[in-house]
Amino acid sequence: MISISPIPIFNDNYVWLIEHKNGSASVVDPGDATPVMRILKAKGLKLTSILITHHHWDHTGGIKDLLDAYQDLVIYGPNSTKIPQVTHSQKDGDIIDLFDDQSLSLKVFEVPGHTTDHIAYFANTCVDNEKEKSNDNNSLESPILFSGDTLFAGGCGRLLGGTAEQLCHSLKNLSSLPTNTQIYCTHEYTLANLAFAEVVEPNNEHIKARIHIESVKRNNRKPTLPSTIELEQKTNPFLRCMQTEIMTSINQHWGQSWKIEQELFTGLRRWKDNF
C-alpha cells in the first residue's frame, strides 16, 4: 500500500509525504526539513527520495538538511542549475519508479510558466503487488498529480520567470489528464482563488458550492487538497478562458474585445495578480 499525506510548512505550503508499506518514503518539495524529519521519525519511516517541481526556496530549502540526515538520498527534479542537489534530472516523458517494487511509477511533465524549469509528476495507477485493501482515506485509489505551483485548486501560479503562453499551454496539458486525477499542489490558496473565480464567473453554481465546502474544511483546520481535474474543469477560470461568461468578464474588466484564448488567459492572469 502507498499513501499520501500533507506536512504543513510555513504559512500555506504543503510538503507531500508518500509512504510505502515497507517503511520507505519520499517527499515532494521540502521547503523546510524540520517538520519533515519530525514526521518521518514519528512514523518510523526511512526517507529514500525527494521530488522537486521547481527551484523556488519554499520548495527546495530543506534539501540540504535532509541530505545530511539521510544517506543515499535520490533527488529527482528539473534540469536546472538553480537546484544543484538534484541527482537525477528529469525531462518531459521520463518515468520514475519511486520504490524498488515498482508500485508507483511517475511520468514527468515539463510545465513551464510559473518558472521556466517547472515539472510535474503524474501516476496513472498504483500497483499493489499483494492486492491489499485499505480503509485509509489517504491510500491511492485514482491517478495522482503533483503539480507544484503550476496548477492550484481554483487557480494557477504567477508568472515568475515563464510566460503566459507557456503557462496556458502547460495548464491545457494538465487539464487533459483523467478527470478523476487527484491534484496535490503545494499551497493552501484555494479559498482566495475561488473568491477571484466567483468575481470572474458570478453565475457559476459549482464555484459557490465549492466555496462552501472548502470553507467548512478550513474552519475545521483541514486541507482543501487534493483537488481533482474534474473539479478544476468546473471551477477554475484559468482552465475555462473560452467560456462565454469568463470571456465577457475579462473583456469588461480591461475594456477590450479579446477573442483569442492566449489574449484572454494573459488578461485573466494580470487581473488575478492585482486582485
The residues that are catalytic are: 54, 56, 58-59, 114, 149, 187
Cell numbers placing 144: 495522482
Cell numbers placing 199: 468575481
Which whole-number Å values give the CA distances from 163 to 134, 155, 168, 269, 270, in the listed order? 43, 16, 9, 11, 12
> Residue 149: which residues within 8 A CB-CB, separation 6 or more?
53, 54, 56, 59, 114, 115, 118, 157, 185, 186, 187
Place of cell 475545521: 220
Give the separation between CA 184 and CA 153, rounded to whole angstroms.
9
Q: 243, exposed or middle or buried, with CB in 10 Å at 0-12, 13-18, 19+?
A: middle
Do 246 and 260 meet the contact criterion of CB atoms below 8 Å apart? no
